[in-house]
Amino acid sequence: MSERVQRLVIVGGGTAGWLAAGIIAARHQARIAAGTLSVTLVESPNVPIIGVGEGTWPTLRGTLQKMGIRETDFFRECDAAFKQGAWFAKWTTGEEGDGYYHPLMLPHGFADVNLVPHWLHQQPQTSFCDAVCPQGELCDENLGPKLITTPEYDGLANYAYHLDAGKFAPFLQRHCTTKLGVRHVLADVDEVEQAENGDVTAVVTPQAGRIEGDLFVDCTGFRALLIGKTLGVPFRDCSDILFCDTALAVQVPYADEDAPIATHTISTAQSAGWIWDIGTPTRRGIGHVYSSSHTSDDQAEAALRAYIGPAADGLSVRKIPIKAGHRETFWKNNVVPIGLAAGFLEPLEASAIVLIELSAKLIAEQLPANRAVMDIVAKRFNDVTSYRWGRIIDFLKLHYVLTKRTDSAFWIDNVDPKSVPERLQNLLHLWKYQSPWFFDEFDRLEEVFPAASYQYVLYGMQFRTEVAPEDVVANDRLARRILDENRSMTQKMRARLPRHRQLIGAIKEYGLQTI
């Protein structure tokens, strides 16, 4: 039981497998070089990847940098673009002009003062996002978040990426195998061997024989070969909270090669779900996420094609099932699922890739020294990961429960209190009288969504918090100064930053400065 953990085996490739391999291998380069740790990725040559994870979080910048990947190479090889947030259209009232931004920048002066009471007290004509942060206006004008002279992974505005998932996984594979010492085995897993205590001891393949391991990471997607089929860990369904269970995805070419590239995700509400619209340099990835209980596949496809317009003619649509939920236990025995094997939620806030990053980072940092302490590490991992999934479910539901739409059963059903988690109900009650800010209601160091994200969604969707006069008077001078500074900063950034497509073209031609 005290044997050292030396052989880490990842079963399954794709974005989940290769990101996990890269994060873990980069963290333990000294051990890999010394021969006291091996990272092996076993990937079937016959299983296609899902390949629709096109939106990311700013965390990916640090992840790629720690893996030793040049941001310039990432842009050149993964059809990448910048992402500065998301625009939510027609979520509140469904009327034309109804929309708000969830940007990636914190409100200006966020650590010094809560600007919500001051913004509300002014009975504002300016949106909350525009009042406290420049990023909405940068997105409006399709401006990039940095200059070509800005060093790699640095930015004048915070940013994430949009990318081609079909190109991202092979890009990571090349880097992991050539730079980080990850062993790649192309083989089908036919059998899983277990010890008496339930631990997985090896996976058996016809092409490469037995592959033994001390710790196994399950990246086999919906199949969940190790965590589900072998260890029998149940799946916790949350379709009673998040109703969307199907997606239709299509890739739409630009009308011309100089067409603007949106520097944000566009999420447009529909009668029974919503449509994502993600711009990369060569195409737009567009998809309709919907509840099959509230509309038919034919109606959903018709809505998707109507959104795209004439450019949809002749394009084939791919159907993707969404089983909303996650494993009841994430780390059991010596198996940890990452990616779709761990769970899946609708891509409303691009949480899929960040959950891969966070889980792999936690494994890398807490890699158990031996089997004797693995259960202690596993309990910690399960506590943190369960909390994160719960908070993401809460945050996604927030977008639905704040709606004022009553034009379809889908929106009416979404505000039914029976479908709203108790924790979120309590927070909504609290926020009627005091707005979220800093650690008011967030008790974890690595909170998935900061209080600022709740502010952007709440006040973007016309939520109102009662403001006591003394809350405004207390920091009035400081708040006014910060709001003025934000207006000035917005003007300067608008004047200085390049167009999004222009910036991407310059990166591909000249490259960014290395840090």
Catalytic residues: 83
Per the rule left: phi > 0, alpha: psi between -120 and 50, beta: everything else, 276 is: beta
Could you give the CA distance from residue 166 to residue 79 in angstroms, rounded to a whole number?
A: 10
Give exposure, 412-421, as e/b (b: 16+ Cβ within 10 Å): ebbeeeebbb
Could you give the CA distance from residue 234 to residue 246 in angstroms, rounded to a whole number?
A: 21
Helix (H, G, I), strand (E, B) or coil at 378: helix
Helix (H, G, I), strand (E, B) or coil at 148: coil
Phi, psi values for residue 452, rounded to 5°:
-60, -40
CA dihedral for 496, 499, 504, 507, sign (positive or negative): negative
Could you give the CA distance from residue 463 to residue 36 in angstroms, rounded to a whole number?
A: 55
Could you give the CA distance from residue 269 to residue 31 in angstroms, rounded to a whole number?
A: 49
> Do residues 426 and 452 lie in contact, with contact meaning Cβ atoms separated by under 8 Å?
no
Host H or E run for residue 427:
helix 422-431
Q: Check residue 244 and report its DSSP letter.
A: -
Could you give the CA distance from residue 399 to residue 410 in angstroms, rounded to a whole number?
A: 13
Could you give the CA distance from residue 83 to residue 332 in angstroms, rounded to a whole number?
A: 36
Could you give the CA distance from residue 144 to residue 498 in angstroms, rounded to a whole number?
A: 6
CA 489 from chain center: how many Å? Answer: 28
Residue 356's closest CA among 63, 61, 8, 44?
A: 63
